[in-house]
Structure 1
Amino acid sequence: MKKIYFCVILLLLTMSEIASGKVNKPDQTQEPDEEEIGNFDFLYGTDGEDGFSQTERLMEEAFSHMGTRYRSGAKGPTAFDCSGFTSYVYKQQANIFIGASSRDQYARNIPISRSQLQCGDLVFFTSPNSGRNVGHVGIVVDVDPITQDFTFIHASSRNGVKLSSSNDSGYARRYIGARRIQQ
């Protein structure tokens, strides 16, 4: 009984402290350290006069085509197929030829494991009709470091250039590998 009485009194005291505003609240006006703000180089390393990394410029180029329509064999910029989209983005922003077809891109770039995925890497899938062969490609936008699930941008035959998740059932079962671009 003494324990219950003590807990009730402790609870009432705590509630009265909170209600009176005496409990310390974090300082909402505190500005972040300069080191926190300016220390993004370790992630993306700037390499241009504009202060943006190659990856950031690559993503800007890729996202500028969101919603662009799909057309088989199209290489851009008014329409794309999947490999036309990836090769166009890399050619425009990095002046790198990564291969013309998804199979060519898969064959000519550096194999990496899913645990090594980074923004800008290429991810490959079978197409619904290609069996085990490479049939689709996209560019990694974001990776969950714990689950290794990723978001990628690609030219979808149904919706044009769009974002998709590796968790989407249509892609999860068709994923076959990833490649890092040789520079």
Structure 2
Amino acid sequence: MKNTILYCLAAASTTLSFFFERTPDATTSSSAPVIAEASLLPSFLDGSTPADATTASRDSLAYHYYAQTLGVDLAFNENKDLLRTVTDWIGTPYRYGSNSKKGTDCSGFVTRVFQEVYGITLKRSSRSMFENVKRVNKDQMEAGDLVFFRRGPGQPIYHVGIYIKDGKFAHSATNGGVMISSLNQPYYHRNFYAAGRIENE
């Protein structure tokens, strides 16, 4: 669906460019047609070639799609690979011990996303992941940081997700599979333990 929209916009942009051609004045020595500046996205006119405008248009549509699907406000400069990969996994059912599109648990989902987006191989359990992160403050989290949960002081870490933005994180939950949730939801707010950043060596 998203590819169809992108192709349609690109085709429409190309078609419109033909309507804005005008015949050169008789006094003009050049025989090349003069093209009036016209675009579906005027903000891309300054210094942009048609190819640049088409690419920017595609990027804009993609970011809008990710923002809507993930429920976050994007600045259009976020890691598009991360957003696309997480979006592609949304709706995958929960399956303990698995990490495929047929079913995945929380740590399986995280390992697959990190492999696909960053080329990083993480340890398979949420507890092992926690041992290999650099701790970050909750108010300094960035997209791609890991969020860890436990059920009280002294309890082991039992769940992990990937922070996206605006307090939202992606994870595979036992009651719904891969989804986007908010750290402000009472359950996750109560059980949030720490955030950590994987540093690519």
TM-score, structure 1 as length reference: 0.65
Q: Compared with structure 1, are the counterparts of its residues 165 and 54 closer, same or farther at alpha carbon in structure 2 (3 Å cutoff)?
A: closer
Relative contact order (C-alpha < 8 Å, sep 6+): which is higher? 1
2:131 aligned with 1:107, yes or no?
Answer: yes
Deviation, 1:58, is 1.7
In the TM superposition, what are the counterparts of 1:143-162 in structure 2 within 5 Å? 143=166, 150-162=167-179
Q: Deviations over 1:70-126 (max 9, x none)?
A: 011111132110000001110112110122100011111111111210111110111
Q: Size of the alignment, in residue pairs?
A: 133
Does the 8 Å contact 1:70/1:80 carry over to 2?
yes
Q: In the aligned structure 1, how far is the partner of 2:149 from the partner of 2:157?
A: 6
Partner AA of 2:191 in structure 1:
R
Q: Compared with structure 1, are the counterparts of its residues 66 and 127 closer, same or farther at alpha carbon in structure 2 (3 Å cutoff)?
A: farther
Deviation, 1:32, is 5.0
In the TM superposition, what are the counterparts of 1:74-153 in structure 2 within 5 Å? 74-126=98-150, 132-143=155-166, 150-153=167-170
Q: Compared with structure 1, are the counterparts of its residues 99 and 67 closer, same or farther at alpha carbon in structure 2 (3 Å cutoff)?
A: same
Partner AA of 1:179 in structure 2:
G
Q: In the aligned structure 1, how far is the partner of 2:173 from the partner of 2:92?
A: 10
Based on CA coordinates, which of the two structures has the bigger radius of gyration? 1
Q: Compared with structure 1, are the counterparts of its residues 58 and 76 closer, same or farther at alpha carbon in structure 2 (3 Å cutoff)?
A: same
Does the 8 Å contact 1:54/1:94 carry over to 2?
no
2:188 aligned with 1:171, yes or no?
Answer: yes
Runs of 5+ unmatched residues, structure 1: 1-30, 39-51, 144-149
Aligned to 2:197: 180
Aligned to 1:12: none
Deviation, 1:132, is 2.2
Q: In the aligned structure 2, how far is the partner of 1:161 from the partner of 1:131?
A: 27
Does the 8 Å contact 1:109/1:179 carry over to 2?
yes
Aligned to 1:3: none
Q: In the aligned structure 1, how far is the partner of 2:149 from the partner of 2:132?
A: 16
SS of equivalent to 2:127: helix
SS of equivalent to 2:116: helix
Runs of 5+ unmatched residues, structure 2: 1-41, 48-55, 57-75
Partner AA of 1:168 in structure 2:
Q
Partner AA of 1:99 in structure 2:
K
Q: In the aligned structure 1, how far is the partner of 2:109 from the partner of 2:171?
A: 7
Q: Percent identity?
A: 31
Partner AA of 1:164 in structure 2:
S
Q: In the aligned structure 2, how far is the partner of 1:78 from the partner of 1:96?
A: 22
